[in-house]
Structure 1
Amino acid sequence: MTVTHSIARRADVPTPEEVVDRWRLAVRDRLLSVDLRPTGPAECFGSVQERDLGDLLITDWVCPQLEGIRGSGVARRDDDALVLFAASAGRQIIETPDETVVLRPGTVLLMSTRATGRFLTPQHVTKRTIKVPLAALAPFDTGASVPGCLLLETARSPLANLVQDFLARMDSHVGRMSAVEVEGARNAVLVLIASLIRAGQADLGNSDVLPLFRRQLEQWIDDHLADGAIRIADLAAAHNVAPRTVQRAFESTGDTVGSIVRARRLAAARRDLVNTNNPIAGIAHWWGFCDASHFGREFRREFSMSPGDYREAYGLA
């Protein structure tokens, strides 16, 4: 379903401050929390068009001139997710503690919701974003880690070009898709994004052995999700290494064994909710949650819906 919200100033929005508040809420709900302020006139403040694929939030933006500041305190409040940005007109400048990148036509930007920095739109920009929960991306091979900030040029990256073309062509079909087709398109988008991450890592010349070991650890976790609790000691013993080596493999990207196991369990449970009629309590037990209540709390925290509501909205069985 496609939903369009105009954020242009109207008679019932008498002040620019209220227009900014509407925009701030839209950005928070669809992307991440940012302290926004306009740097141009607020009388024509853009629009937001939503078209989602299950838990992937796809949004088209017509953005005005504005500036956003995102500190570490704000970043900690947001869900763990990855956001893909692609602009079709205008430009936006993103300044992180480590680098400055420019989102413009011909580029694709991947950014973690844990990233901090300054967002500046010196002129109106038209862009598309996809917000991907990390639990949704967990079953797909992203290589060593999810990037904090990665900019790809479509002129140099055929895969980035393919992603843009795929998303553009999907527009004319998404409203007519069946539930099965929506799930297939969702997974295709996730495969493309995971491949973009791996391609970006290859471009950076990542040859460290630790990322390769990390991939082995995550594969072991996937293979043993239904076997009960997974502890650092289990991973260390299975790979004949010290527990500290296991911890280092996850700490290099700011993760823990617990956070990765949680994401994998939620992703597996989501698949069962969508593709089977198994009782929710049974799914919770199978994938290692204490009970249905514990599963419900964790699922709602990640996907902003209860397991039952998610099955009703996206279930295929």
Structure 2
Amino acid sequence: MTLTHSILNRAELPVPEEVDSRWRRAVRDRLVSVDLRPIGPVALYGSVQERNLGDLLITDWICPPVEGIRGRNVARRDDDALLLFTASAGRQITEMSGKAVVLRPGTVLIMSSRTTGQFVIPERLTKRTVKVPMTALSPFDTGDGIPSCLLLETARNPLANLFQDFLSSIDRHVVRMSAAEIEGTRNTLLVLIASMIRSSQADVGDSDLLPLLRRQMEAWIVTHLAGGAIRVADLAASHKVASRTVHRAFASTGDTVGSVVRKHRLAAARGDLVNTNNSIAAIAHRWGYCDSSHFGREFRREFSLSPGDYREAHGFA
């Protein structure tokens, strides 16, 4: 786990332009792209504490009064990820498709990074977020699929309560953990997240054919990833639809078949780097890269480290 901490500014001092920029960049990198606007005369300020649990981004925020708007075009530019929010003070009101949910102490908010809408933080808010790449969650059983938005009350939902307690306990123990224990903690957190989603399926109303088909085809991709090239024609034949329907299903979430395959290949390769002693060349070959150089370029673009450096930092095999 890596840890950085930055205090952006104090409320009583003017906030320089570069500090405002740092805050916006943290929101974009640790959550999603959004058009942020301060409420009142004070520019954006606050504090951010960052932790990386493998490929899971855990962030503690102290947020100023602010509002944000997230449109469809902006949402399509972001990576496909799941966002989880908890709060210890204050509230955040999020509105989408005519529905409003309120993040406050005692709740867990789960949202897709593709969700559009607007939010407002009317007063100082202290919250923790977890950004989970969909590729990291895909090996775990989430039932019928990922909700666009799901709000759980910890007092009524034992799994949500357990998730919040487990997330809080990470801070106390992670400094003593080995790389193997950190990876195990990551996987335990993913099991809890998948279980929360699966147990709340009655709250998820998504009967649209294309999103359902999209999820089924992505599951097929994960299953067949090690078998060679993934072709649109194979997806179409296996699901008894036309190739143009395959393209439409992935386009409905702003993706292409190629981009989804690429993300899953990188996620699978990351797992091998952390969990096996296989050589980098063998891992590259297993997951369909031309050679180690090709794999290295793709991996560095996604994780900002070479495969060797990533293994040294996170591997335990």
What TM-score, normalized by structure 1, do the two folds share? Answer: 0.85
Over the aligned positions, Cα root-mean-square deviation in angstroms equals: 3.2
Q: What is the SS of the residue equivalent to 2:164?
A: helix
Listed as ranges, the gaps of 5+ residues in structure 2 are none
Q: Which residue of 2 aligns with 1:5?
A: 6
Q: For 1:301 and 1:85, locate their aligned partners in 2 and report how far apart those are by CA, in whole Å.
A: 27
- Cα gap change, 1:246 to 1:291, in 2 (>3 Å): farther
Q: What is the SS of the residue equivalent to 2:300?
A: helix
Listed as ranges, the gaps of 5+ residues in structure 1 are none
Alpha-carbon offset, residue 260 of structure 1: 4.1
Alpha-carbon offset, residue 79 of structure 1: 2.4
Q: What is the SS of the residue equivalent to 1:274?
A: helix
Aligned partners of 1:7 and 1:46 also within 8 Å: yes
Structure 2: which amino acid aligns with 1:86?
Answer: T
Within 5 Å, give how 1:152-163 maps onto structure 2. 152-163=152-163
Alpha-carbon offset, residue 256 of structure 1: 5.3
- Cα gap change, 1:243 to 1:173, in 2 (>3 Å): same
Q: Which residue of 2 aligns with 1:125?
A: 125
Alpha-carbon offset, residue 80 of structure 1: 2.3
Alignment of 1:168 with 2:191, yes or no, is no
Aligned residues: 315
Structure 2: which amino acid aligns with 1:6?
Answer: I
Alpha-carbon offset, residue 65 of structure 1: 0.8
Within 5 Å, give how 1:297-308 maps onto structure 2. 297-308=297-308
Q: For 1:8 and 1:58, locate their aligned partners in 2 and report how far apart those are by CA, in whole Å.
A: 21
Q: What is the SS of the residue equivalent to 1:114?
A: coil
1:84-142 deviation digits (Å, cap 9, x = unpaired): 11111110111224522111112111122222222210011110001112222222222
Alpha-carbon offset, residue 246 of structure 1: 7.6
Point out 4+ residue stretches in structure 1 off by more than 6 angstroms. Answer: 205-216
Within 5 Å, give how 1:33-182 maps onto structure 2. 33-40=33-40, 42=42, 45-182=45-182
- Cα gap change, 1:235 to 1:82, in 2 (>3 Å): same
1:4-55 deviation digits (Å, cap 9, x = unpaired): 21112499x8545444323212212322222222214648932111222111
Q: For 1:14 and 1:274, locate their aligned partners in 2 and report how far apart those are by CA, in whole Å.
A: 44
Structure 1: which amino acid aligns with 2:275?
Answer: N
Within 5 Å, give how 1:155-304 maps onto structure 2. 155-204=155-204, 220-235=220-235, 237-238=237-238, 241-243=240-242, 247=246, 250-251=249-250, 254=253, 257-304=257-304
Aligned partners of 2:15 and 2:44 also within 8 Å: no
Identity %: 67
Aligned partners of 1:2 and 1:175 also within 8 Å: no
Alignment of 1:316 with 2:307, yes or no, is no
Q: For 2:208 and 2:125, locate their aligned partners in 1 and report how far apart those are by CA, in whole Å.
A: 38
Q: What is the SS of the residue equivalent to 1:197?
A: helix
- Cα gap change, 1:216 to 1:10, in 2 (>3 Å): closer
- Cα gap change, 1:32 to 1:236, in 2 (>3 Å): closer
- Cα gap change, 1:123 to 1:14, in 2 (>3 Å): closer
Q: Mean alpha-carbon deviation: is it higher for 130-139 or for 258-267? A: 258-267
Q: Mean alpha-carbon deviation: is it higher for 64-73 or for 214-223? A: 214-223
Q: For 1:243 and 1:314, locate their aligned partners in 2 and report how far apart those are by CA, in whole Å.
A: 42
